[in-house]
Structure 1
Amino acid sequence: MLITCEHGGNTIPVRYAPLFHGTQKLLKSHRGHDIGALNLARYLARHLRAPLHYSTVSRLLVDLNRSPHHRQLFSSQTRVLDPASRTAVLARYYSPYRGAVEKRIVQMIARGRSVVHVSAHSFTPVFDSKTRMADIGLLYDPARRGERLFCTRFQDALSDFAPTLRVRRNYPYKGTADGFTTYLRKIFSGTHYAGIELEVNQRFFLDAKPAWGGIRLNILRALTTIFG
């Protein structure tokens, strides 16, 4: 297993801080980072003894989970940068991160291992005035048999450990939408690679420590069951 967290923090490098003057509230919100995602990723990596790649640079500088051509690669704050400056951001923060993850997968496959890549994310409970009707979302490509079977087992295991959790597949986003796992599927076959985005409702992290501890533990138990 490989664990990553593309939206692990809301740090803005000093060089680009003037672009974000007066945006502290924005940076602290779900738009600035995936609240609780890095905490979850570190917890899972530690207990599963899995390699972890993460970034704490805000997605509002550059979104590591978007393709280079995607219109949301840069935020409204950074789209004002000239082409050379945007290229510099990609060279410093985007390409090294994605390249390191891709290299890790190549190394794992070279050792004869099939790679299950769990990308830790979180989603805001309410978006566009609509309440999201899930506690956990499992995003994957239904056309990839390995991903489909893995998510079925994951969902079943979560149901066994926590029957009241609302676990949905390809919600609140489609697993085939633009993202890092979508790119990696183009590089690695379904025989060698399964890319799963694990989305957790931020309300568990924001509401109370017992609730967050419980959902982390149940996710860990479910994954341990699958890999045990």
Structure 2
Amino acid sequence: MSEAFTQIDGGTLDLLIIADHASSHVPADIDLGIEAALLREHIAVDIGVAEVSAALADQLGCTAILGGVSRLVIDLNREEDAPGLLPVMSDGHAVPGNRDADLTERMMRFHHPYHQRVEQLLDGMTSPFILSVHSFTPRLASDPDQKRPWDIGVLYNEDDRAARIAIPLLEAAGLKVGDQQPYSGRLLNATMNRHAEAGGIPYLGVEMRQDLVGDPAGQKRFAEILGPIALECRNRLA
């Protein structure tokens, strides 16, 4: 067990599900200085991701690794020198407890162990494929006029091989798909840049709309859609 991540061992298929922002947990010895209710909001956790990832691991018979702490404690999907590792502001909400936090301590405690475990899991696979699972809020408090109509987004940086396979399949499943939406993977793709693109490992990165995966029915629906598509991408690329 590790406080940096939760590992779900669903089987031996060479497909690793990675969910950087799956947890809203804040360790008892860390005070972010925010209201507890905010830990249930998108600024703290990717809503629905933990449940969908667990369902996918069981459905596909593969391993999933879920980030063990809130993105407000440390953002696991940021490069080690990125300014947003310890957010002091998120979608209009101040996070005063991070202003004087020890970045090195948080990196050693959470960021390094998480990414080291991802590397170990991938090293143990003969022909790995990664499914990166995130979710996005349909409405930003800091930019309420921004339209975010997609049911799911597909993100990538340079490697769009799985994206080109998945997008038409997701559309055929009845989803409104955003290609590089609600933001571009060329701008924010740290975990996949590190563990997939740097080593040529194929991957599919998705962003599910949070109001569609906020309850068990929606989580089940998305897992049932994503499972066969991730498997198709893996079978064609890994």
Tell me the TM-score normalised to structure 2 length.
0.80
Quick check: 2:153–2:207 contact (8 Å CA) kept in 1? Answer: yes
Counterpart residue number, 1:151: 163
Quick check: 2:25–2:69 contact (8 Å CA) kept in 1? Answer: yes
Deviation at 1:176, TM superposition (A): 2.1
RMSD: 2.0
Residue 181 of structure 1: which of 173, 187, 192 is its match? 192
- 1:30 aligned onto 2:42: yes
**Residue ranges of structure 2 left out of the alignment (5+ in a row):** 1-14, 89-94
Map 1:49-198; keep pairs closer than 5 Å: 49-76=61-88, 77=95, 78-81=97-100, 85-108=102-125, 111=126, 113=127, 115-127=128-140, 128-129=143-144, 130-141=146-157, 143-144=158-159, 148-160=160-172, 162-163=173-174, 165-178=175-188, 179-185=190-196, 187-188=198-199, 190=200, 193-198=201-206
1:39-86 Cα shifts (integer Å, max 9, x gaps)? 11111111111111112311101000011111110021353235xx32
2:59 aligned counterpart, secondary structure = helix
Counterpart residue number, 1:40: 52
Counterpart residue number, 2:11: none
Tell me the TM-score normalised to structure 1 length.
0.84
d(CA) in 1 for partners of 2:129 and 2:149? 26
Q: 1:92 to 1:182 in 2, by over 3 A?
A: same
2:204 aligned counterpart, secondary structure = strand
Percent identical: 25
- 1:15 aligned onto 2:29: yes
d(CA) in 1 for partners of 2:217 and 2:66? 25
Q: One-letter code of the match for 1:37?
A: V
Q: One-letter code of the match for 2:155?
A: L
Q: 1:223 to 1:74 in 2, by over 3 A?
A: same
Residue 4 of structure 1: which of 18, 22, 45 is its match? 18
1:157-186 Cα shifts (integer Å, max 9, x gaps)? 2233x23x1012211121122321122346
1:33 aligned counterpart, secondary structure = coil
d(CA) in 1 for partners of 2:218 and 2:118? 31
Q: Which moved further from structure 2: 118-127 or 72-81?
A: 72-81
- 1:223 aligned onto 2:230: yes
1:131 aligned counterpart, secondary structure = coil
Q: Which moved further from structure 2: 148-157 or 3-12?
A: 148-157
Counterpart residue number, 2:6: none
Q: How many residues in Structure 1 have an aligned counterpart in Structure 2? A: 210
Q: 1:184 to 1:177 in 2, by over 3 A?
A: farther
